[in-house]
Amino acid sequence: MSARRLAISQPDNFKLSASAKKQINNWVKKYPKDRQRSALIPALWIAQKDAGGWVPEAALREIGDMLGMAYIRVYEVVTFYTMFNLEPVGEHHIQLCGTTPCWLRGSDDLIEVLKRRIGPHGSVSEDGKLSWVEVECLGACANAPMAQISNPKDDMYYEDLTAESFEVLLDNLVAGKGVDAGPQNSRHTSEPEGGNIALTGEGPYHDQVAYLPNAPKKTKMSVHGGAPKTKRNSATKAPAKTTAAPKKAPSKKAAKPKVIYTDGPTDGAPDDLKKIKGIGPKFEKDLNNKGIYYFRQIGAWKAADIKMVEELIDSIPGRIKRDEWVKQGKHLAKQTGKKG
């Protein structure tokens, strides 16, 4: 972690409000008399909210006095935890997670949006509405990529972001419009995208079977827990020694669907695939890398193509169908006149 220092420019006469002091004292009372410094973290958090999103040095001294601590001990704690801001922040302070799961799911695209709209890491926008920093995992990896956005009242998580949905989110925050926290796609909490499919017979394994060990050759059971279709007569027959051999995987060549590839953008300039809702800069780059440059190519996908493309670009199964890429691709191809 890089060194974190107090802001060079500090307010002249900052004092904690009466309400903040009262809250801090409530925390102090929770601890035995000689352990009051245990209230330091909540006290710093209350002071940060009281000061508009950051902790001025004067607040650190007041807290040190209230908890009977040397100021240097307070400084040590506040400079260690990145949840405490040591410089003034924007009205909406964005902490963008850049740890591996969020990074794999496109946090780099979100960082580009922040750099373009606000400035380099740690900047506050000119109008004072937005500021941002990159942080480590915020514990919502199942909904990666995500950001925590704080204002004087709330600290909310915004999840399942794409560059496009993030732009819309920031527009709404700047415009003072309410934005629902949580997933920014159709997903409910951290449930599977496209709704629950486990045990419904619609999941990716619905047509697979599990073979019971030591059972007669044809006895099989659905992986969803369905009962065996043949009864085992253990009284009369010894169980077969081996079960049926696993199905032979189809060769790659035979399974290859007919995605319409090109060796390069052979039909003029590539289409702006980001016009398709659900395709951001990352997916566009991935698709181009796989030889897909035009709306007409996407508009021609069949089910097998979609399945393979989802694997190729590491997309969540069902996403392409849900976002109707094929329908959008057909429509946009008509507009560009490149129907394939």
If the CB atoms of residues 28 and 138 are measured against ligand FES, the closer one turns out to be: 138
Q: How far is the CB of 103 from ligand FES (least distance, A)?
A: 8
Q: In terms of C-beta distances under 8 Å and separation of at least 24 residues, what long-range contacts does 317-324 make, across chains too? A: 317/204, 318/192, 318/193, 318/194, 319/193, 319/194, 319/278, 320/278, 321/194, 322/186, 322/193, 322/194, 322/278, 323/276, 323/277, 323/278, 324/277
Residues in the interface with ligand FES (CB under 6 A) total 11
- How many other β-carbons are positioned within 10 Å of the β-carbon of residue 201? 12
Piece of 74-82, 95-103, 234-242, 306-314 that binds ligand FES (CB under 6 A): 95-103
Q: Could you tell me the sign of the dihedral formed by the alpha carbons of 209, 214, 217, 219, in that order? A: negative
Identity (one letter) of the amino acid at 133?
A: V
Piece of 57-65, 139-147, 202-210, 293-301 that binds ligand FES (CB under 6 A): 139-147
Q: How far is the CB of 107 from ligand FES (least distance, A)?
A: 7
Residue 111 binding ligand FES, by CB under 6 A: no
Give the single-character DSSP code of 251: P
- How many other β-carbons are positioned within 10 Å of the β-carbon of residue 192? 14
Q: How far is the CB of 171 from ligand FES (least distance, A)?
A: 23
If the CB atoms of residues 38 and 99 are measured against ligand FES, the closer one turns out to be: 99
Mark out the alpha helices in 175-269 (DSSP H runs): 252-255
Residue 137 binding ligand FES, by CB under 6 A: yes
Window 141-200: residues binding ligand FES (CB under 6 A): 141, 144, 146
Task: Indicate which single residue of 99, 123, 151, 185 sits in contact with ligand FES (rule: CB under 6 A).
Answer: 99
Chain residues binding ligand FES by CB under 6 A are 97, 99, 101-102, 137-141, 144, 146
